[in-house]
Amino acid sequence: MISIAETLLDWYARHGRHDLPWRQTRDPYRLWLAEIMLQQTQVESAKPYYARFLQALPNWQALAAAPQDQVLALWSGLGYYARARNAQRAAQEVVTGFGGHFPDTLEDAVTLPGVGRSTAAAVLASAFGQRQAILDANARRVLIRSHAIDADPKAAATQQWLWTLASALTPEDAHGYNQAIQDLGAMICTPRQPRCPNCPLASRCMAHAQGRSHALPVTVNRPPKPQRCAFFLLVADMEGRILLEKRPDFGIWGGLWCLPQAAPDGGEFAILCNDTLQPLEDTPAVRQFLQEAWSRRLRLDLQLMALEDEQQHVFTHFQLRFRCAHARVLGSAVADSAATLRWYRPADALTQGLPTPIRRILRNLGGGR
DNA sequence: CATCCGTGGCT
DNA sequence: TAGCCAAGGAT
């Protein structure tokens, strides 16, 4: 009987996505960058970012030496910004610790920030032809269905089982096989409405035999996202430049430039309780609070003007409701010299690393819509 | 080990 | 439309 690997490789040769940009190279830098960008990110979303990033920062040395703001600007809109910060740190370690060469063992590769077992394996297999098994969302789904695994996919024991399976099934040509199983997961064995009639593994897929392809992997019901709220400050100086604040290198939107924030509870994203009514209400007390909080923190004498209508932004683990507050500067418009506060002309602001909703706000400043 | 970390597309 | 999910890793 033909092995699963041979079946998949044969299918891949005829139906695989051979034209993906990162499949035109065996350069470890390019392969590694693709793996980082594709973490929790769909191929079509990553494509334009990948091309732009490589154009600007084509090798380890360029990335290692780049200003962090440039790296984050190239990542702006892709999400999970720790990937970008970790990628730069990894490049610096490759340059200084590995002589400018991506490490050629799994043990060394996973010491790089942002590089876990699956990412390391993918790079080692593709760049160096090593027999290394991956276990990403596609491979995981294929294995869970083909072996009709009912257990919670996220449980540690299941993960271990899946890694064992993946390692056992991965042939010498792991480079081809890894791409094949990923393409099968992306094109045939999709999360919803899998195309089993077109699947080369259908005849030996246990889930298919049991008529349960659509029911696997099992999903656990998520509780509703908590709601949070915030105000964003839109203030311009005499020359029409907008004040932005660089966020710290951790947490949500870490390292990105953002509009100054404030929330009713004094933090930046206030958690809403069920009994919190109208948390973003426009009242004199709220206006006074915002005006004082921002004036003090930004060392500006502000006067609050209009509050825009409420908007929303949904994150993985909470939902943000926010309003933009327009203000004018009464006192000195000389901003704090702190490196985390900067006035930007609107056009320049848009070239920076901005969170998506902030980019949307600034884009709409001039012409509406 | 559970939680944190973005965003866009799909149904 | 509201919820689900994606080429995961760090803490």
- Which residue type sits at A72? L
CA/C1' separation A38–C7 (Å): 5
| Structure-block tokens of residue A255 | 């390292």
What are the structural domains of chain A?
A: 4-215 (1.10.340.30), 227-367 (3.90.79.10)
Which residue gives the smallest C-alpha to C1' distance to C10? A114
Cα separations in angstroms, A258 against A178, A205, A226, A241, A338: 39, 49, 22, 14, 15
Which residue gives the smallest C-alpha to C1' distance to B10? A192
Q: Give mean pLDDT, residues A290-319.
A: 93
Round to whole Å and give the CA distance between A178 and A37. 17
Round to whole Å and give the CA distance between A327 and A196. 58
The fraction of chain A above a pLDDT of 70, given in percent, is 95
Which residue gives the smallest C-alpha to C1' distance to C7? A38
Q: Give mean pLDDT, residues A306-327.
A: 94
Task: Characterize the bridge pairing of strands A319-329 and A227-235.
Answer: parallel
For the cut 70, the answer to whether the pLDDT of residue A337 exceeds it is no
Task: Kindly report, residue by residue over A127-166, the tens digit of the pLDDT.
Answer: 999 999 999 999 999 999 999 999 999 889 999 999 999 9
CA/C1' separation A251–B4 (Å): 8
CA/C1' separation A49–C1 (Å): 29
Q: For position A369, what pLDDT does the model report? A: 40
Kindly report which listed range (A75-89, A145-159, A246-260, A268-282) carries the lowest average pLDDT score.
A268-282
Cα separations in angstroms, A90 against A23, A50, A83, A109, A110: 22, 17, 10, 10, 10
Which residue gives the smallest C-alpha to C1' distance to B11? A192
Query: Which residues lie near nucleic chain B, judged by CB under 7 A?
Result: A 40-42, 44-45, 77-82, 154-156, 192-193, 251-254, 313-317, 355-357
The fraction of chain A above a pLDDT of 90, given in percent, is 86
For the cut 60, the answer to whether the pLDDT of residue A367 exceeds it is no
Task: Kindly report, residue by residue over A306-316, the tens digit of the pLDDT.
Answer: 999 999 999 99
Task: Kindly report, residue by residue over A82-96, the tens digit of the pLDDT.
Answer: 999 999 999 999 999
Question: Rounded to 10 degrees, what is the CA torsion of A200, A204, A208, A209?
Answer: 150
Average pLDDT over all residues of chain A? 93
CA/C1' separation A136–C3 (Å): 22
CA/C1' separation A41–B8 (Å): 9
**DSSP run (H or E) holding A181:** helix A174-187
Tell me whether residue A84 is exposed, middle or buried, using C-beta atoms within 10 angstroms of its C-beta: 0 to 12, 13 to 18, 19 or more.
Answer: buried
For the cut 50, the answer to whether the pLDDT of residue A261 exceeds it is yes
Active site residues of A: 35
Round to whole Å and give the CA distance between A337 and A174. 53
Q: Give mean pLDDT, residues A205-232.
A: 92
Strand B, nucleotides < 7 Å from a protein CB: these are 1-9, 11
